[in-house]
Amino acid sequence: MPPPRRYTVDHGVRLVSHRDGVELAASVFLPTPDAVDDAEPDESSASAKKRTDDRSPVAPRSSDAASSASPAPPPPRHRHRLEKHGFVMVHAHPKFGGSPEMMHALAADMASHGASVVNLALRGAGGSGGAASWQGDAGEVSDVLSAADHARDQLGCEYVHLLGYSFGATVAGAAIDQRDFIATYVALAYPLGHWWSRGVFGVGAKLLMHRHTAPLKDSVKPKLFVIGTEDEFTSAGGTERFAKKCAEPREVSIVEGADHFGFVAGEALERVAADARRFARDHEAYVDATAGRRSFDESDEEREAESFFADVYKDVMTPPRPTKRKSEEGRGGGAKGDPSRAA
C-alpha cells in the first residue's frame, strides 16, 4: 500500500509577469497537516515511539498517583521548521523541451516535508503565454519574480528560496537580489559548459547560459550548487571553480554518478530535495542578520551584459597553454602559466 500523500496541489494558478503582463501558469504544492520536516522527529512513526518508550521512567509524585493510571496525552505536534518557507522552482530551457512537469516530483517531495512550492512555467512553456528566449533575457527573470511575489503575498512565506534546474538555474540566479525576502538560491546542474571537454553540449551552454552570471557572483545571499559527476554539460570541477568566484556564503554538493537529468527524474531527486531543505534551515539565521545588504538596481542589467561579453571574449581569444615540464620550469626563462579558469 503506498504511503499517504502529504501534500495538496493546484495546477490552475495564474500569475502575471511584472515586465510585460504576460500571463504565466504555475502549480502550487502545499504541505498537509501530516507533512513531516525531515529535520524533526516524526512523532507518529514507530521509531519515534520507540525513542519515547526507551526514555527512563520517572516515578509519579504521590499527588499524581490517582492520575498516573490514565493514558498520557499525545505529545504536542511540533511546528514544521519550514512552515514559513517557500520554494520557487524554475525548469530547464523551453526551447530544448524543458517544462514545469519535469519538476513535479521534486515539488511533491519538498511539500511532503513541510515547504510550500510555486512551480513556475516560464514564458513559452506549459500553460504560460509569451515566447521563450535563448538566453533568458526576454522577461524570464521577471517571471521568476512574479512567482516569488506570489509565494510571499498569497502563501504567506517569510522566506522564499529560488531553486532552478539547468537553464532555470541561470534565470533564477539573476533574480536573487531583486527581492529582500528571497533568502537562498539552489542551482541544480547549472549549465556552465566548456569549450572542448563537453562537446556540442558544452559549447552550447557556453554560448547561451552565461547571460546572468554577474548578479549571482556578486550576491551575498547563500548559494548552493548541486552537480553530478556525470553531467553532460558541465564538470564538477568547473562548478567548484565557478562557485569560488561567487561571494560567500556558497556551497557545492557533488553527487557521485548523477548526470544532468538525474536530479529531477532519477535516484538523486530525494537527496537534492533534502539538501535544499537543509540549506534553507542552516542559513535562516544568516538571512535574518543580513537582510537588505544588497538590493538590485537598474545598472545590474548593464553589468550582466558587459560581464557576459567579456567572459566570451576572454574564452575565445585566450587559448589554453600546455602544462610546462619541470625541467622548463627550473630554467626560469619561460612565462608563467595561466591559472585555472572556470568552465
92: exposed, middle or buried (Cβ count in 10 Å: 0-12, 13-18, 19+): buried
Percent of the chain with pLDDT over 90: 43
Helices 199-208 and 299-317: angle between axes, nearest 10 degrees: 140
> Hey, what's the cell of 209?
547560459
Residue given cell 556558497 in the structure block = 250
Pairing of strands 85-90, 116-120: parallel
Pairing of strands 182-188, 7-16: unpaired
> Hey, what's the cell of 252?
557545492
> Hey, what's the cell of 283?
542559513
* Integer Cα distance of 105 and 88 in angstroms: 14
Instruction: Enumerate domains of the chain plus CATH numbers.
Output: 7-33+80-303 (3.40.50.1820)
Q: Which of 188, 331, 162 is nearest to 269 (CA)?
A: 188
pLDDT score at 28 = 98
Mean pLDDT across the chain: 75
Q: Could you count the other beta carbons within 10 Å of the beta carbon of residue 233?
A: 25
C-alpha angle 207-210-214 in degrees, rounded to nearest 5 = 155
Q: Could you count the other beta carbons within 10 Å of the beta carbon of residue 129?
A: 15
pLDDT score at 136 = 65
pLDDT score at 30 = 97
DSSP states along 91-135: -S-GGGT--GGGGHHHHHHHHHTT-EEEEE--TTSTT--S---SS
Buried b / exposed e along 180-198 (16+ C-beta atoms within 10 A): ebbbbbbbbbbbbbbeeeb
Rounded mean pLDDT, 293-299: 42
pLDDT score at 199 = 45
Q: Residue 53 pLDDT more than 70?
A: no
Q: Do 315 and 205 meet the contact criterion of CB atoms below 8 Å apart? A: no
Residue range 71-126, pLDDT digits in tens: 444 433 444 578 899 999 999 878 878 899 999 999 999 999 999 999 999 999 99
- Our measurement of the distance from residue 37's CA atom to the centroid of its chain's CA atoms, rounded to an integer in Å, reads 18
- pTM for the structure as a whole: 0.72
Q: Could you count the other beta carbons within 10 Å of the beta carbon of residue 322?
A: 6
Say which DSSP state 2 is in: P
C-alpha angle 137-121-160 in degrees, rounded to nearest 5 = 85
| Residue 292's pLDDT band (cuts 50, 70, 90) | low
DSSP states along 249-294: SEEEEEETT--TTHHHHSTTHHHHHHHHHHHHHHTHHHHHHHTTS-
Residue range 29-42, pLDDT digits in tens: 999 998 877 765 44
Q: Do 107 and 70 meet the contact criterion of CB atoms below 8 Å apart? A: no
pLDDT score at 4 = 76
Q: Could you count the other beta carbons within 10 Å of the beta carbon of residue 101?
A: 15
Q: Could you count the other beta carbons within 10 Å of the beta carbon of residue 134?
A: 14
